[in-house]
Homo-oligomer: A and B are copies of this chain.
Amino acid sequence: MNASPQKSPWPNAADRERERGEKRNALLSAAVRSFNERGFHATSLDDVAASLNVTKPTIYYYFANKDEILFECVRLGLDGIRQIAEAVENAGGSGLDRLTALMRGYAVIMTKDFGMCVTRTADHELSEESRSRFRALKREIDITVRRVVEDGIADGSIASDDARLTTFTLAGALNWIARWYEPNGPLTAEQIADSCVKTLVQGLAPRS
C-alpha cells in the first residue's frame, strides 16, 4: 500500500479553488430550494445568505447579481436534460425506444431541485440577456427531442403527423411533474417517470 502524498493542513491554490466552487454550489443549492418553494421574487438574498450563516455581501462575492444566480440554477437543470438527450441520441434502438429512454430520464430530472427550477421559472423572471440564453438552451433540447420523434416517425415506431406539436405535448406532461411532485410522497421519482412514460407511449385508448 503506497502512502498517498502527504496532505498539508494549509490550503494551496487548488484547494482554495475547490473550496470556492463548493461554497458557490452550496449557495446555488440554498437559492434553488428557496426559489422552488417561495418563488424567485419572494426569495430575498438576505434569507438565502442567512440560511447558510453568512450575510448578503458574501453572495455578491460569488455572483454578480440575483439574475446570475437564477440563470445558473436553470442552466444546471437544463444541462442535466441535455446530457440525457445527447446520450440517447447516440444510442441504438428505434426512435420510440430512444424517445422512451429520453422521456424517462427527463421525468426523473424534473423531480430534482435544479430540474424543477427550469419549469417553475418563467422567462420574464430573467434579465433580457439571460432570458435569450435560457430560451436558446431550451430550444436546443426541444430540437433534440423533436429529432428523435422525427426518427421514430421515419422508422415507423412512432405515430404522429406533427413532430413539433407532439414534442410540446410530451414535454408538457413531463415538465408538469415539477409542479406536483412531492419528495416525501409515496411514489419514487422512477415510479412516476415510468408511469408517465407508459401513459404517453400507450395512450388512453386500450390496445387490443
Contacts and interface: CB of A to CB of B under 8 A. Distances in A.
A162 interface: yes
Nearest to A181: B168
Interface of A: 37-39, 41-42, 96, 99, 120, 122, 124-125, 152, 156-160, 162, 165-166, 168-177, 179-180, 187, 192, 195-196, 199-207
Contacts of A171: 176
Copies in the complex: 2
Given A176-B176, A206-B157, A207-B207, A200 B125 contact: no
Contacts of A37: 124
Contact of A99 (B120, B201, B204, B206): B204
A180 B171 CA distance: 11
A158 B206 contact: yes
A202 to B, nearest CB: 5
A109 to B, nearest CB: 15
8 contacts: A39-B122, A39-B125, A168-B177, A172-B172, A172-B173, A176-B176, A201-B205, A207-B207
